[in-house]
A and B are shown apart, each in its own frame.
Chain A
């Protein structure tokens, strides 16, 4: 978190990280809701969910998964590089992380666009009057991936800010807890995708 430890002149790294983890738990519960709803409706409308899932392109899903996993790797590598005081390498790795996030969002944009152009979106003509579960699948799909997309965007902004601070030397090999916390946030975004990917693309 961005807060200072206030009263203490030394910096409380563990305190900052506890705050960040607690915040991540709240994000985790935010996504727990839609995933719980998914499991309930998956058992209520098994056939419709399988058919709706078949319309999603697994190839794009796999590509995006590999992209996010790799961006998680570069983020973790960036922290190690910072701890070893390799500023240039850190900046390159952070750049790679943000780029992967951007490509992820572009993919999502085209994926959504293709679905929407076929009328497959909440309130769209392909799902109108559909009460057998197919509309619910896509309702949850757009809600969960949309919420996740917002988190990807937020994570990219956070990493860009962190990169600027690395550049200015405000984050350095002695004081890198802000970079660590940015990384924690990015990894959480990855963990959420690790669950969203199979439930929409693979359980069929």
Chain B
């Protein structure tokens, strides 16, 4: 445990009085927990990738090629659950947040180290439940578990739904830890406006965890109760309303996009000034824009529901608020551009700057042109057309965000090594491109 004195050697060597395995599984050291998360998330990510390749292989010709239809459906569901809840949601906060947040604010650990470890166990429990669906009984609902299909399907959707509920508990504990840590454990002199911008982004993300996750949680509990007892709230045959399921689902799942993208933006905000060799332009604006994105981003969930048959009045409001998110997002981008603008000699830019440019292009330019929320899906009529086009929009948004994998290796502290930074960043860049482009460019 962190407070039991200074350990010999690095944080990677076994803790005193413990074997190798128990000093990992029982650790309360935020750095070790970050690495636990890293290994488990990469493991499940590779499983998700395997599912995705198998599915694309199945689609190579018409009719059953390598698997039956219900196997395909269960792979489809599990691929979504893994990529969203086991990978995209925890990857930056739980790995890089856990590792770096205390270091960046000068704390020796997070506020509740044991609860931090507990969150990893909830993550593993949720992951185990999700994997168990393959053996016990696959779900065929897709990762969104939309009612009324999820209420009636004969597949064991309840288990998959419960797995996501447990993963939510893990997120909540991480969120509580980060908010408390930032408020209570900053080193003397580390005032709010001296915080690294990555910390600001994590702070905003942690608030999304706290506010949005329980609403998804209760929604999933309602689905389970509906399947077990038939309480009727989402079932039109009993007078219920399936669109309310979509509301409660997207109240969480839109902000979940920001859970992924905010810390990534925070990482960009750290990397740009280093390679521009100056302080970041517009520090306060970027800091506030993280909070702004979290706040306004909580009011836009209806843009996922334009085709659901909900009221046109609501569509107008949600469309309007979706446009508003562009403001804090653009504040960040223009300040990054401002940071780079003043530097002489563009040839000093290495790939880290190009990765930011790549982010810029994929997130803000390519997206509106091709099925992307910032503008196209934000507008109601095109959305009604575009949202019917299968997995494309989702993979452009979140798969596009994958390109952030060029970023995080650069946050690895200097003393661990320049090589990790350079090679990791190159690797992340090419693998993200290699993973997402060939299969999703139409």
Contacts and interface: CB of A to CB of B under 8 A. Distances in A.
A contacting B, Cβ–Cβ less than 8 Å = yes
B14 interface: no
Contacts of A5: 111-112
Task: Report which residue of B172, B239, B248 has the largest number of chain A beta carbons within 10 angstroms of its beta carbon.
Answer: B239
Interface stretch (B153-161, B206-214, B278-286, B428-436): B206-214
How would you classify the secondary structure of chain A's contact residues: helix, strand, loop or mixed? helix
A2 B176 CA distance: 13
Given A3-B115, A45-B239, A18 B232 contact: no
Contacts of A14: 184
A136 B232 contact: yes
A33 B218 contact: yes
Contact of A6 (B111, B172, B218): B111
B215 A19 contact: no
B215 A32 contact: yes
Interface string B100-120: 000000011111111110000
A30 B211 CA distance: 10
A125 interface: no
A127 to B, nearest CB: 8
A29 B230 contact: no
A46 interface: no
A33 B177 CA distance: 24
Interface stretch (B189-197, B221-229, B342-350): B221-229
A195 B221 CA distance: 20
A2 B115 contact: yes
Interface residues of A, number: 46
Given A3-B114, A27-B214, A135 B238 contact: yes
Interface in A1-59: 1-9, 12, 14-15, 18-19, 22-23, 25-34, 37, 40-41, 44-45
A133 B235 CA distance: 11
A42 to B, nearest CB: 12
B386 interface: no
B237 A131 contact: yes
A2 B229 contact: no
Interface residues of B, number: 46
A19 B238 contact: no
Interface in B142-199: 172, 175-177, 179-180, 183-185
A26 B184 contact: no
Contacts of A149: none
A22 B239 contact: no
A140 B28 CA distance: 40
A5 B240 CA distance: 46
Contact of A136 (B112, B179, B210, B238): B238
A143 interface: yes
Given A7-B3, A34-B222, A135 B215 contact: no
A12 B215 contact: no
B231 interface: yes
Contact of B3 (A9, A18, A131): A9
A132 B219 CA distance: 22
B288 to A, nearest CB: 22
A198 interface: no
A185 to B, nearest CB: 14
Given A7-B3, A130-B239, A139-B232, A23 B176 contact: yes
B60 interface: no
B114 A29 contact: no
B354 interface: no
Interface in B78-109: 107-109
Given A139-B232, A139-B233, A142-B231, A33 B239 contact: no
Contacts of A164: none
A123 interface: yes
B112 A19 contact: yes
A13 to B, nearest CB: 10
Contacts of B58: none
B111 A12 contact: yes
A167 to B, nearest CB: 23
Interface string A134-156: 01101110110001000000000
A30 B184 contact: no
B36 to A, nearest CB: 17
Contact of B111 (A19, A31, A44): A19
A2 B112 CA distance: 8
A131 B184 contact: no
B240 to A, nearest CB: 6
Contacts of A186: none
A3 B110 CA distance: 10
Contacts of A4: 3, 112-114
B244 interface: yes
B225 A7 contact: no
B231 A143 contact: yes
B105 to A, nearest CB: 12
A12 B111 CA distance: 9
Nearest to A32: B215
Interface of A: 1-9, 12, 14-15, 18-19, 22-23, 25-34, 37, 40-41, 44-45, 121-123, 130-133, 135-136, 138-140, 142-143, 147
Ranked nearest first, the 4 interchain pairs of A and B with the lowest CB-CB distance are A3-B112, A139-B231, A7-B108, A33-B218
22 contacts: A1-B176, A3-B116, A5-B111, A6-B110, A12-B185, A14-B184, A18-B179, A18-B183, A19-B115, A22-B175, A22-B179, A26-B172, A26-B210, A27-B214, A31-B218, A33-B215, A41-B241, A122-B225, A135-B239, A136-B231, A143-B221, A143-B233
